[in-house]
Amino acid sequence: MPPPIEVDAQPGLPLGMTPQAFLRDYWQKQPLLIRGAFANFEAPLSPDDLGGLSLEESALSRLIVHDPEADTWQVRSGPFDEATFEQLPEDHWTLLVQDVDKWDADVAQMLADFRFLPGWRVDDIMISYAEDGGGVGAHVDQYDVFLLQGLGQRRWAIDASPNPPLECRDDVELKLLRQFNATHSWTLDTGDMLYLPPGVPHDGVGIGQGMTFSVGMRAPARAELLLDASEYLAEHMDEADRYTDPDLAPAERAGEIDAAALDRVARSLGPMAEAMGRERMADWFGRFITRYRSAQFAAPPPQPISIESLSTALDQGAALLRHPWSRLAWCQTESGATLFAGGHAMACPPELAQALCGDTPLQAAIAPGRREREVLTALVNEGHLALEQAH
């Protein structure tokens, strides 16, 4: 049987259990509602204090207003002024201020109750004040969070199913879920606390006036770890330690990044190459090498050209000229080839990719196919090729 999703706090056990039991059964595994986690809780600052903090220039604050009838969301970033709050509607809005623990010593003292977690894992305490119906909509966080009701009530709904839908709406600034199917819902009173591991869809709506204290955890993305680690390693590497190719054989096809070159790149990258995989490594290297040490980059023309206009010009004898600052390369793929131009990539027929990377006039090598003309149009509109009209 899975552990219960709702428990009551006990004297000396604000989690309703020992920290060891919480970490074993819930941490990064499943949600938990703890009734009375902060018994007799008194908010260390008032809604007016929070509003005053949002007026500060360096405070990170947002106002979110929801129109429930039209289902529209308005997001404004601080700092705010007093007139901003005077113009707000009576309900369905919320004020969020991040890093309040850095501004208020009494709020920071609340972190003492989370010392069972490594200190470097704790990010900040964000406080949200909501009028009736206020909230930020159904969404997903990619970090652990403890949601403590600090004043009034808030209705929380979560989707604790194994594979909840995570597609976001594209019509609002916020990353709101397109579909939200609640499996559990509770009304939290002052002192109640909801723990959510990463990836659990949730939605909190104010019941009357209230404040919620969100204790968020640091959770860097793997991409962030790899990026920072690679920059750290690069800073400590010898400048003379470079890509080498003493086994280089004559190039068979102009501009191709062949398998032997990718093998050498993989040796230079070491374990990172294995983490990237061959396909992603080839895509990264093609983008990198076509922008590496470029003093200048091609600029788009004043007016873009359509594929129909380009085709007409080529049929009438116009010439295509390579931009002198453009760096082009290509790599064979299972479905054809990828052409790299100034750090960008696009699918391209192999014959055209080879012709583009060569030094012979392009006209003789251009096939009249639709796909070829699409590639050429894109290159003209990015400035890598210039169209010289026939005289």
Regarding whether 181 and 227 lie in a shared domain, the answer is: no
φ/ψ (deg, to 5) at 376:
-65, -40
Regarding whether 388 and 329 lie in a shared domain, the answer is: yes
**Of 29-43, 150-164, 339-353, 357-371, minimum mean pLDDT range:** 357-371
Regarding whether 142 and 242 lie in a shared domain, the answer is: no
Alpha-helical runs (H) found in the chain: 19-25, 47-53, 82-86, 105-109, 222-235, 259-269, 271-276, 278-289, 307-315, 350-357, 370-382
2 secondary structure, DSSP code:
P
Regarding whether 191 and 269 lie in a shared domain, the answer is: no
User: Does residue 224 contact residue 143 with C-beta atoms inside 8 Å?
Assistant: no
**Residue 312 pLDDT more than 60?**
yes
Domain region containing 116: 6-217
In a domain, 160, yes or no: yes
In a domain, 276, yes or no: yes
DSSP SS3 for 74: strand
In a domain, 34, yes or no: yes
Question: Looking only at Cα atoms, what is the longest distance across the chain?
Answer: 91
Q: Which residues fall within 8 angstroms of residue 88, CB to CB, at 6 or more apart?
A: 63, 65, 131
Q: Output the pLDDT for position 364.
A: 55
In a domain, 309, yes or no: yes
* End residue of a domain, out of 217, 248, 274: 217
Residue 211 CA neighbour count, 13 Å, CB half:
20
User: Does residue 174 contact residue 75 with C-beta atoms inside 8 Å?
Assistant: yes
Regarding whether 189 and 258 lie in a shared domain, the answer is: no
Q: Is 90 exposed, middle or buried (0-12, 13-18, 19+ CB in 10 A)?
A: exposed
DSSP SS3 for 109: helix
Binned at pLDDT 50, 70 and 90, residue 365 comes out as: low
DSSP SS3 for 300: coil
Span 212-235, pLDDT tens digits: 999 999 888 888 888 888 888 888
Span 279-288, pLDDT tens digits: 999 999 999 9
Regarding whether 192 and 291 lie in a shared domain, the answer is: no
* Helix, strand, coil tally for the chain in percent (to 5): 30, 25, 45
- Six-digit token string for 179: 């579909």
**What is the pLDDT averaged over residues 349-362?**
89
Regarding whether 261 and 194 lie in a shared domain, the answer is: no
In a domain, 1, yes or no: no
DSSP lists the bridge partners of residue 338 as 331, 347
Regarding whether 266 and 369 lie in a shared domain, the answer is: yes
* End residue of a domain, out of 189, 217, 245: 217
d(CA 118, CA 331) in angstroms, rounded, equals: 46
Amino acid letter, 265: V
Span 90-148, pLDDT tens digits: 999 999 999 999 999 999 999 999 999 988 899 999 999 999 999 999 999 999 999 99
In a domain, 28, yes or no: yes
Regarding whether 229 and 203 lie in a shared domain, the answer is: no
Regarding whether 200 and 184 lie in a shared domain, the answer is: yes
Regarding whether 270 and 178 lie in a shared domain, the answer is: no
| CATH code of 39's domain | 2.60.120.650
* End residue of a domain, out of 175, 193, 217: 217
In a domain, 283, yes or no: yes
φ/ψ (deg, to 5) at 260:
-65, -40
More confident residue, 149 or 369: 149
| CATH code of 304's domain | 3.40.366.30
User: Does residue 162 contact residue 181 with C-beta atoms inside 8 Å?
Assistant: no
In a domain, 318, yes or no: yes
Regarding whether 117 and 230 lie in a shared domain, the answer is: no
d(CA 201, CA 199) in angstroms, rounded, equals: 6
Question: For the chain, how many structural domains are there in total?
Answer: 2
